[in-house]
């Protein structure tokens, strides 16, 4: 799953690639986010939302 986060992707696209529901992807991303820093590419978090330099 983490290899899919190397580039920003919408939750729906992650769900399609993993063959799970979008809500399952969202739940897993919340767990990953709560346990440590999330992968960041070009200032975007895995949900495709822009992040500021102060986000951690």
Per residue in 12-37, pLDDT (tens digit) is 998 999 999 999 989 988 888 888 76
Asked if the model's pLDDT at residue 51 lies above 90, the reply is no
Please report, rounded to a whole number, the percentage of residues in the chain having pLDDT higher than 90: 27
The model carries a pTM of 0.53
**38 vs 31, higher pLDDT:** 31
Sign of CA dihedral 11, 17, 23, 26: negative
Give the whole-angstrom CA distance, residue 16 versus residue 37.
24
**Alpha-carbon torsion (8, 12, 17, 21), positive or negative:** positive
Residue with tokens 């330099």: 53
For the chain, domain boundaries: 1-51
Q: How many residues can be counted in the chain?
A: 56
């Amino acid at each position: 799953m983490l290899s899919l986060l190397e580039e920003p992707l919408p939750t729906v696209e992650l769900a399609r690639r993993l063959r799970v529901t979008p809500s399952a992807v969202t739940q897993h991303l919340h767990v990953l986010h709560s346990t440590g820093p999330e992968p960041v590419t070009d200032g975007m978090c895995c949900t495709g939302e822009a992040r500021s330099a102060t986000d951690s």
